[in-house]
């Protein structure tokens, strides 16, 4: 559906994008992650034909963004980071303008207006001037603008920035409800926003893609080892010695515990550490108070990946 | 064409959505009519030469103020990104905006039609000269608007756009003044007259005041306007790279 390959773009001497490649299939939702200034917006501006790349190609539905930009624009609904609103218009006039500019008219336009207003929860503010709207409503009006022509592809640049938790939840639900029928790329620098909406992430840092995959794959790749917490009511020294005897454990760290002892153990993802510890406890006759894997959060992964990318750069 | 019409409607409405439009029009009418009337009773001539004669200088300030918002405001609001990702060509968006500004100017100019009515009631004016004078005023406004649209596209900020627009219109204006041309001729022989003939607007405009509409004068106004509009579209397209 969208194929980005070898994209590069510089602004003056600043290299914004360097050999960026990824692809998204039809109906997929992609979380586009990265710190501020990593190149998320620039990539999205190139996909939406607002900017042209210095090198590389972007194909949307097999159509090259440089060769047939108007065809690409027809297929895309785009919410830029700075929500593009005419403050002197009310929501009705504004959405009507964007709808007509996208070629809708008559009954079809009215039907789409109704749908967008309902889906984005704009009914109560419909006749208010956009200049008087709160940040949340402005963001939703921007989203409604991107949806007005019922596009197959949605490109949303930081759709939840500046919203309160309840509003974020609303936008998240809207994105989820569009899943399956639309291909969506949304960018964010807030990691918690990705997991509830999608599993597929691309992480960009300093203009380069540093990771592409599911959240699970990425943490496995980035962290190298699995984390298991073990707690037991038994003699700490004996438990530690027994755990150290397990060849799978690459790292063992005692943790403070109120009752008995507690450890954090690391082992390669391929090893069944939980099973091994269970057998050990049964043999040693300790009473386990805790035994579970602790999956890495996207934060851990993100930090490890960006650190690694930085490390690589320093070495180079 | 349909695309341009959608943009035209939004831009034309935008002028009248704010009080600035009415202030503009009132200022335009009061200043023009006032300047004209002060001399009118002294001269005692039933013609509009004085009114049309003031326009080239007066519009240098008025027109860039009308066109300054065309692109600069969109850049400030972020709607520029919306416009440039709509399924329409940059030239269509530009044409819609330009024509909206032109229509706004025509509304203001239409307000001055009280002057020919008054002159017609008081005396026996040359109607042909008045008609060609209005044609000249429209073409002059169209040219200045082309320049103003172009400078608005260059700038992110409306104040810079209006100042650059005023300076550009002023340059075109003074190049047409014989004294200026003679001075330039004094520095580089021939250059001043060359610029006066090809770029200076007074010569072309004054022909129309006298009731003469020549092909060369029409070509000057329409051609130069087109040049600035094409430059504007090219600049906005080029910004992508």
- Is position A219 within any domain? no
Other CB atoms within a 10 A radius of the CB of residue A212 amount to 16
- Examine the domain organization and report whether A37 and A117 are in the same domain: yes
pLDDT digits (tens, 9 = 90+) for B184-207: 888 988 888 888 888 888 888 988
**Do A80 and A138 lie in a common domain?**
yes
Q: Band the pLDDT of B209: cuts 50, 70, 90.
A: confident
Backbone angles phi, psi at A180, to 5 degrees: 95, -50
A49 at interface of B, judged by CB pairs closer than 8 A: yes
Inspect the interface and report whether the beta carbons of B240 and A48 lie closer than 8 Å: no
The pLDDT, as a whole number, for residue A315 is 52
Please tell me whether residues A205 and A243 are part of one structural domain: no
Between chains, do B81 and A98 touch, taking CB under 8 Å as contact?
A: no
Of B18, B87, B240, Cβ closest to residue A70: B87
Is A264 found in the same domain as A155? no
Task: Let me know if residue A305 belongs to a domain.
Answer: no
For residue A201 the two structure tokens come to 């992430």
| Whether A9 contacts chain B with CB within 8 A | no
> pLDDT (tens digit, 9 = 90+) per residue, A292-303?
888 777 778 888
pLDDT of A2 > 70? The answer is yes
Domain of A265, CATH number, reads 3.30.70.260
Interface of A with B in 228-267 (CB under 8 A): none
| Best to test chain A binding among B4, B5, B21, B81 (most A CBs inside 10 Å) | B81
pLDDT at B4 over 70: yes
CA distance B55 to chain A (A): 31
With H, G, I as helix, E, B as strand and everything else as coil, classify residue A134.
coil
CB within 8 Å: B85 and A76? yes
Residue A125 and residue A92 in contact, taking contact as beta carbons nearer than 8 Å: no
Chain A CB contacts of B69 under 8 Å are none
The rounded distance, in Å, linking the Cα atoms of A188 and A157 is 7
Q: How confident is the model at residue A312 (pLDDT cuts 50, 70, 90)?
A: low
The answer to whether A73 contacts chain B (CB < 8 Å) is yes
Cα A65 from Cα A18, distance rounded (Å): 18
Question: B152 by DSSP, 3-state: which?
Answer: helix
Grouping H, G, I as helix, E, B as strand and the rest as coil, residue A2 is: strand
Q: How many CB atoms lie within 10 A of CB A125?
A: 20
Contacts of residue B94, Cβ cutoff 8 Å, sequence gap at least 6: B149, B153, B229, B232, B233, B236
Partner-chain contact B79 A85, CB within 8 Å: yes
> How many whole angstroms separate alpha carbon B65 and alpha carbon B161?
9
Question: Cβ separation of B78 and A85 shorter than 8 Å?
Answer: yes
User: Is residue A282 domain-resident?
Assistant: yes
Q: CB contact, 8 Å: A98 with chain B?
A: yes
Q: How many CA atoms lie within 13 A of A150 on its CB side?
A: 11
Residue B29 binned pLDDT confidence (cut-offs 50, 70, 90): very high
Residue A86 to residue B240, Cβ atoms within 8 A = no
Q: What's the structural domain count of chain B? A: 1
Strands A76-79 and A153-157: parallel
Regarding whether A275 and A207 lie in a shared domain, the answer is: no
Q: In chain B, whose CA is at the least distance from the CA of A72?
A: B87
> Do B78 and A80 count as a contact with CB atoms less than 8 A apart?
yes
A79 Cα to chain B: minimum distance (Å)? 8
Q: What is the CATH number of the domain that holds A33?
A: 3.40.50.300
pTM of the model: 0.87
A86, B79: Cβ pair inside 8 Å? Answer: yes
A198 and A49 share one domain: yes
Q: Taking 80 as the threshold, does the pLDDT of residue A311 lie above it?
A: no
CB pairs under 8 A between A and B: 64
Q: Do B82 and A102 touch (CB under 8 A)?
A: no
Query: Are A194 and A239 within one domain?
Result: no
By C-alpha distance, the chain B residue nearest A100 is: B6
**Where does a domain end: A168, A195, A214?**
A214
Residue A7 pLDDT:
94
Handedness of CA A94, A100, A101, A104 (dihedral sign): positive
Distance from C-alpha of A245 to C-alpha of A240, rounded to nearest angstrom? 9
Same domain, A203 and A249: no
Q: Which two tokens stand for residue A105?
A: 């008219």
Using a CB-CB cut-off of 8 Å, the residues of chain A touching B240 are 49-52
| Six token digits for residue B117 | 């009515």
Check CB contact under 8 Å for A84 and B18: no
- Are A66 and A18 within 8 A, CB to CB? no
The answer to which of A44-53, B168-177, B203-212 has the lowest mean pLDDT is B203-212
Kindly report the number of other CB atoms within 10 A of residue B38's CB atom: 10
Among A191, A214, A237, where does a domain finish?
A214
Of A89, A153, A161, A79, nearest to A126 (Cα)? A89
Task: Give A167's pLDDT tier (boundaries 50, 70, 90).
Answer: confident
Residue B102 contacts residue B142 (beta carbons within 8 Å): yes
User: Which chain A residues have a beta carbon less than 8 Å from that of B89?
Assistant: 70
User: What would the pLDDT profile of B120-135 be if each residue is shown by its tens digit?
Assistant: 898 888 889 999 999 9
Q: Residues A211, A203: contact at Cβ < 8 Å? A: yes
What is the distance between the alpha carbons of residues A292 and A296, in angstroms, rounded to a whole number? 13
Q: Is residue A188 part of a domain?
A: yes
Instruction: Calculate the CA B216 to chain-centre distance.
Output: 19
In this structure, the answer to whether residues A96 and A161 fall within a common structural domain is yes
Radius of gyration of chain A (CA): 25
Per-residue confidence band for A247, with pLDDT thresholds at 50, 70 and 90: confident
- Is A284 found in the same domain as A178? no
Q: Where are the extended beta strands (E) located within A128-256?
A: 153-157, 183-188, 200-205, 208-214, 225-233, 251-255
Instruction: Identify all chain A residues contacting B17, using CB atoms and an 8 Å cutoff.
Output: 88-89
pLDDT of residue B165: 95
Q: Determine the pLDDT at residue A49.
A: 95
Q: What is the mean pLDDT of residues B166-176?
A: 93
Q: Which domain holds residue A146?
A: 2-214
| B240/A84 Cβ within 8 A | no
- Residues of chain B in contact with residue A50, where contact means CB-CB under 8 angstroms, are 81, 84-85, 240
Overall domain count for chain A: 2
Nearest to B98 by CA among B52, B63, B135, B133: B63
Assess whether A198 and A243 both reside in one domain: no
**End-to-end CA separation in angstroms for chain B:** 26
Residue A101 near residue B86 (C-beta atoms within 8 A): yes
Question: Using 50, 70 and 90 to split pLDDT, how confident is the model at A313?
Answer: low
CB contact under 8 A, A101 and B84: no
Asked if residue A159 and residue A237 are part of one domain, the reply reads: no
**What range does the domain containing B45 cover?**
2-238
Asked if residue A150 lies in contact with residue A112, where contact means CB atoms within 8 angstroms, the answer is yes
The answer to the question of residue A314 being in a domain is no
């Amino acid at each position: 559906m969208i194929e980005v390959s070898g994209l590069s773009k510089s602004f003056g001497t600043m290299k914004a994008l360097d050999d960026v490649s990824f692809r998204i299939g039809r109906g997929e939702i992609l979380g586009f992650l990265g710190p501020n200034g990593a190149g998320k917006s620039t990539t999205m501006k190139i996909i939406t034909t607002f900017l042209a790349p210095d090198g590389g190609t972007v194909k949307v539905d097999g159509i090259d963004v440089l060769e047939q930009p108007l065809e690409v624009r027809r297929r895309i609904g785009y919410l830029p980071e700075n929500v593009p609103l005419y403050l002197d218009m009310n929501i009705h006039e504004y959405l009507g303008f964007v709808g007509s500019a996208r070629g809708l008219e008559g009954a079809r336009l009215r039907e789409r207006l109704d749908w967008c207003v309902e889906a984005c929860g704009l009914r109560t503010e419909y006749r208010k001037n956009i200049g008087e709207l709160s940040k949340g409503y402005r963001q939703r009006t921007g989203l409604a603008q991107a949806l007005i022509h019922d596009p197959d592809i949605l490109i949303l640049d930081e759709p939840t920035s500046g919203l309160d938790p309840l509003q974020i939840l609303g936008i998240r639900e809207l994105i989820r409800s569009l899943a399956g029928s639309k291909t969506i790329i949304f960018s964010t620098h807030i990691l918690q926003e990705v997991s509830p909406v999608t599993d597929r992430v691309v992480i960009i840092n300093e203009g380069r893609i540093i990771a592409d995959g599911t959240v699970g794959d990425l943490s496995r790749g980035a962290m190298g080892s699995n984390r298991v917490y073990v707690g037991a009511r038994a003699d700490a020294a004996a438990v530690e010695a027994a755990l150290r005897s397990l060849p799978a454990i690459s790292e063992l760290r005692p943790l403070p515990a109120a009752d008995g002892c507690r450890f954090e153990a690391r082992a390669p993802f391929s090893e069944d550490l939980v099973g091994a510890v269970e057998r050990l406890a049964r043999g040693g006759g300790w009473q386990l108070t805790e035994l579970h894997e602790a999956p890495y959060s996207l934060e851990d992964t993100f930090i490890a990946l960006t650190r690694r990318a930085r490390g690589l750069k320093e070495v180079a | 064409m349909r695309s341009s019409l959608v943009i035209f409607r939004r831009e034309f409405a935008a002028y009248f959505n704010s009080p600035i439009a009415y202030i503009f029009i009132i200022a335009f009418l009061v200043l023009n009519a006032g300047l004209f009337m002060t001399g009118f009773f002294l001269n005692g001539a039933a013609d509009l030469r004085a009114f049309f004669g003031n326009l080239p200088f007066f519009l240098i300030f008025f027109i860039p103020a009308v066109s300054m918002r065309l692109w600069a405001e969109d850049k400030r609001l972020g709607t520029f990104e919306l416009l440039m990702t709509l399924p329409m060509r940059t030239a269509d968006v530009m044409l819609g905006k330009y024509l909206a500004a032109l229509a706004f100017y025509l509304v203001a100019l239409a307000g001055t039609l009280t002057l020919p009515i008054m002159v017609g009631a008081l005396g026996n004016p040359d109607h042909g000269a008045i008609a060609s004078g209005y044609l000249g005023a429209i073409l002059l406004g169209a040219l200045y608007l082309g320049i103003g649209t172009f400078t608005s596209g260059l700038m992110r900020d409306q104040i810079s756009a209006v100042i650059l627009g005023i300076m550009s219109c002023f340059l075109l204006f003074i190049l047409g003044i014989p004294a200026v041309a003679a001075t330039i001729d004094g520095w580089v022989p021939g250059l001043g007259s060359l610029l006066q003939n090809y770029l200076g607007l007074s010569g072309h405009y004054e022909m129309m005041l006298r009731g003469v509409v020549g092909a060369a004068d029409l070509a000057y106004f329409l051609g130069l306007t087109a040049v600035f509009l094409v430059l504007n579209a090219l600049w906005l397209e080029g910004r992508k790279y």
